[in-house]
Structures are given as structure tokens and as C-alpha cells.
Chains A and B, each alone.
Chain A
Amino acid sequence: MTARRMAATGSTSKLVADLRRGDKRAAAKLISMIEDDEPEAREALRRIYRHTGKAHIVGFTGPPGAGKSSLISRLIKEFRKRGRTVGVVAVDPTSPFTGGAILGDRVRMTDASQDPRVFIRSMATRGHPGGLALATFDAVRVLEAFGSDLVMVETVGAGQSEVEIAKRAHTTVVVEMPASGDAVQILKAGILEIGDVYVVNKADLEGAGGMVSNLEQVIPERGRWRPPVLRTVASEGTGVKEVADALEGHWRHLNASDELAARERARAETELRGALAEAALRHLAAKPATERALTRAIGRVANREVDVRTAAEALLRARR
């Protein structure tokens, strides 16, 4: 841990205790430590895990500009009115060229920033695919331990490869807008399998009705849950209550059926497999010799001396 962070946080147990008391600084520091992969972060996550599991985790996906941030901003207010404590993790992409990122989702969420019962965190993907960062769901755990009973996760929204959120959230909201494609676009976009609630935002624009009926035609039932298609104008707050009702309705549905247990199991499997792959990579890269062998292998693959898979297997064998 850096000196600056150590000075600000003290020991790991103090950090966890502060977090459990609802201290925003502790929650914020811990999320940074997780993002930077500091060893103390893993210790803290180990300690808080048993304090998690009660919150309703809702993921939001859909194309950039559809209005995910604006809708979340309105939902924060609506759920605060309903007495809920709310956490938000908003993910934006890291530039693959510079490693930097501009995280701009907060621009639409500024109203809530001074509420002690709301915690909003922006996060860059740092090279992780699938519209989320590696640290996103660890940050969700931190917000649960902090006391949020509803956590909303906003994905990058690249559109067609964001299945991870559906495997890890309890409820997935797909936000679309009018004129973002015809029925065939919807069919091929891969969003039909993942949404528990569909929202057509900017419903005051032309083409909203068509989008809604296109979606209604092609969305399959999910067990005994029929995903609703709702209209909103998030910039004005129209339709937001209905979205909040639908989210609560889906949460009740999950709790009343055996689906919650099934989802928790799917989530555990996704996270465990991910952690295993990550640990294996870390183990593999732990020795400088591997790094040198890797550099050599990259040259050989580039020169067409060996194909990628053969080189990868050779590296694995050499490590054992």
C-alpha cells in the first residue's frame, strides 16, 4: 500500500470497520485498492464477504447515448424516496492506446452526490472486455458492506458483447432508444437473452412505438417472468416510477421462486472461473524467466516460426 493510502486508511481491520460504519472515505479507498490489485484489498474482501449477499444488484446495458446514466440518476431519486440506500458503479472504457480514460457518467448524477445514503463510483475498464472492469463486482461487494441495499451497475454499453453483466447481476435492464435498429438488429444484437426489464428511453422521439412493438414481438419469456418493455423520457423523469416498480417486481419474483438460488450459483461459477483464470495467469507470469520466454515466443509467432497455440502450450509446459 502506498504511504498516502496507509496514512489515510490505517490497518485493514480499521478500514473494514470504518466501511461497515458507513464511512465513504473507507469505501472509496478500498475500491481503489481493489482496482490497483493491492494485497490488503484481498484481505479486506475476504473479511467483508460474509456481510454481503442481501442487496439487490441491478445491471444496466444498452448502446452509448441511450440514456443509461440519466435513467440511473432518476432511479436513485425514486429509490431514495422509497427509503432504499443506493450504490452505483458506472463503468466507462479505458483507451487501449494510452491507458487513460474519461469517466463522465457522473455528469448526469450530480444531484445525489451529497446524500450520505448514496454512493456513486466511476470505474474504467482497464482492458477488461465485456463492458465491465475486473474490479466492478468487488466494488459492488464493498458497496453492499457499506450498507447499500440496492446497487446499480452501469456497463460501458458497447452493445453486442455484454453478457457478463447478466450472469452477475440479479436483474438486468436493457436500455434502448427509438431508431436504434429494426427487428433484425434487435435479433442479432444478443440483447434478447439477457434482459429482465427492457426500457425504450427517449420515448418522446419518433419511432418509439415501433421499437417497443419490435421488442415485444421477439422477447422470450424467462421462466415464469415475462420481461416488460417500458417507455421512459429519463431527462424529464417520465416513466421512471414504472421502471422502479418493475425492478422491485423482478426482485420479488426471484425471491419467491428458486431462481434467486440458481442465479447466485451462476454468479458464483462465473466469478470463481474468472478468479481461477486470473490466478493461473498471475502464477504463470510470476517468474521473470516466463516474461523472457514470452518475449521470445512473441518474436517467433510474429515471424511465423510457430503458431500461437503451439507457442502458448510450450510456455505452459516450460512453467510446470
Chain B
Amino acid sequence: MAKKIRVLIAKPGLDGHDRGAKVIARALRDAGMEVIYTGLRQTPEDIVAAAIEEDVDAIGLSCLSGAHMTLFPEVVRLLRKRKAADIVVAGGGIIPAEDVPKLRKAGLKGVFGPGTSLADIVGFFEANAGRSG
């Protein structure tokens, strides 16, 4: 059986806008991936616990509240603590350009600000979450 890419799409923090996350979940599904969707208002601890149980290849985080500089790096830190640093983390939302290098430095492999195309996001997960690595 072919290996499937498994991706967790999660919304950390308190904003209640998950339309973007759902659009991305659907695009990844249409690209043949298995997408685990965990819904709104997840703590970084919840997200990492789910990612480990689901054995995902990657986590896509969506945050529109402005708290991405705290929440995104916290997910990376907890993954390292649980010895699951092989899980790729990407994040998107309303992210100012000056935050992008900081997030990359914090361990996010992909950072997607407003205006990113769906094709770019799908391409990122195909390239970075494959199971041949």
C-alpha cells in the first residue's frame, strides 16, 4: 500500500476563525493526503499530544490572533521535549514579514503569510512531509 502523507491541521489560541484552516485541510485532502483536523482553541500541549497519537508527518498551524510568536515556537519546543522533532511544523495566518525569519529560526520549516497560494502550501507539504526522508 502506498505511503500516505498525514498532516495535522490545528488552530492554537483563542481566535475563532477557522475558515482558512478548513480550506487548507481540503486542499491537502484533494492532493491525496490524510488530514487530521482538530478544531478551534487548541493549546500547544493538545496539538502535540494529538500529533504524536496520530503519528503525523507534519503539523500545519493557523493563527489569526497575533499570538503566533508565542504559540508556534511553543509547539516546536514541546515536540522536541517529546522526542518528536522529526515532525515538520509549518504555520500560517496574519504574520508580518519581520516575524518570518524569527519563526524560521524558532524551528518552523514553513511560514505562510497572507496571499500565499494554496498550490504553494500543498507543494510545501508534498516536499517536506514525504515519508522517504
Chains A and B bind each other = yes
Please list the residues of chain A having a beta carbon within 8 angstroms of any beta carbon in chain B: 2-5, 7-8, 24-25, 27-29, 31-32, 35-37, 94-95, 98-104, 106-107, 110, 113-114, 119-122, 124, 126
When the two chains form their complex, are residues A32 and B6 in contact, meaning their CB atoms are under 8 A apart?
Answer: yes
In the bound assembly, the distance between CA atoms of A106 and B83 in angstroms comes to 23
CB contact between B36 and one of A2, A7, A31, A122 (< 8 Å): that residue: A122
In the bound assembly, the distance between CA atoms of A196 and B75 in angstroms comes to 42
Residues of B within 8 A of A114 (CB): 45-46, 49
When the two chains form their complex, are residues B55 and A32 in contact, meaning their CB atoms are under 8 A apart?
Answer: yes
Taking A4-B133, A24-B52 as known contacts, 6 extra A-B pairs with beta carbons closer than 8 A to each other, sorted by chain A number, are A2-B3, A35-B4, A94-B34, A98-B32, A101-B29, A124-B34
Residues of A within 8 A of B33 (CB): 100
When the two chains form their complex, are residues B132 and A2 in contact, meaning their CB atoms are under 8 A apart?
Answer: yes
Residues of A within 8 A of B30 (CB): 95, 98, 100
B50 at the interface (CB under 8 A from A): yes
When the two chains form their complex, are residues B4 and A99 in contact, meaning their CB atoms are under 8 A apart?
Answer: yes
B120 at the interface (CB under 8 A from A): no
Given A100-B31, A110-B42, A7 and B86 contact (CB-CB distance below 8 Å): yes
In the bound assembly, the distance between CA atoms of A115 and B55 in angstroms comes to 17
B81 at the interface (CB under 8 A from A): no
Given A36-B3, A100-B34, A25 and B82 contact (CB-CB distance below 8 Å): yes
When the two chains form their complex, are residues A113 and B26 in contact, meaning their CB atoms are under 8 A apart?
Answer: no
The count of A-to-B residue pairs whose CB atoms sit within 8 angstroms is 103
In the bound assembly, the distance between CA atoms of A284 and B12 in angstroms comes to 48
Residues of B within 8 A of A95 (CB): 29-30
Nearest-neighbour CB distance to chain A for B130, whole angstroms, equals 9
B1 at the interface (CB under 8 A from A): yes
Residues of B within 8 A of A94 (CB): 34
Residues of A within 8 A of B3 (CB): 2, 36
Residues of A within 8 A of B131 (CB): 2, 4-5, 36
> What is the 8 Å Cβ interface bit string for chain B, positions 10-47, against chain A (1 contact, 0 not)?
00000000000000011011111111111100100110
When the two chains form their complex, are residues A2 and B133 in contact, meaning their CB atoms are under 8 A apart?
Answer: yes
When the two chains form their complex, are residues A103 and B45 in contact, meaning their CB atoms are under 8 A apart?
Answer: no
Residue count of chain B within 8 Å CB distance of chain A = 35
Please list the residues of chain B having a beta carbon within 8 angstroms of any beta carbon in chain A: 1-4, 6, 25-26, 28-39, 42, 45-46, 49-50, 52-55, 82-84, 86, 131-133
Q: Which residue of B has the minimal Cβ distance to A88?
A: B53
CB contact between A106 and one of B2, B29, B32, B38 (< 8 Å): that residue: B38
Can you list 25 residue pairs at the A/B interface with Cβ under 8 Å?
A2-B132, A4-B86, A4-B133, A7-B86, A8-B84, A24-B53, A25-B55, A25-B83, A31-B55, A36-B131, A99-B32, A100-B28, A100-B31, A102-B29, A103-B36, A106-B36, A106-B50, A107-B37, A110-B39, A110-B42, A110-B46, A113-B46, A113-B53, A121-B53, A124-B4
Nearest-neighbour CB distance to chain B for A98, whole angstroms, equals 5
Residues of A within 8 A of B54 (CB): 28, 103, 106, 121-122
Q: Which residue of A has the minimal Cβ distance to B30?
A: A98
Residues of A within 8 A of B26 (CB): 102
In the bound assembly, the distance between CA atoms of A32 and B2 in angstroms comes to 12
Residues of A within 8 A of B55 (CB): 25, 28-29, 31-32
Residues of A within 8 A of B28 (CB): 100
In the bound assembly, the distance between CA atoms of A4 and B39 in angstroms comes to 28
Given A28-B52, A122-B54, A36 and B4 contact (CB-CB distance below 8 Å): yes
Residues of B within 8 A of A25 (CB): 52, 55, 82-84
CB contact between A102 and one of B1, B25, B53 (< 8 Å): that residue: B25
When the two chains form their complex, are residues A106 and B37 in contact, meaning their CB atoms are under 8 A apart?
Answer: yes
When the two chains form their complex, are residues A113 and B1 in contact, meaning their CB atoms are under 8 A apart?
Answer: no
Nearest-neighbour CB distance to chain B for A104, whole angstroms, equals 5
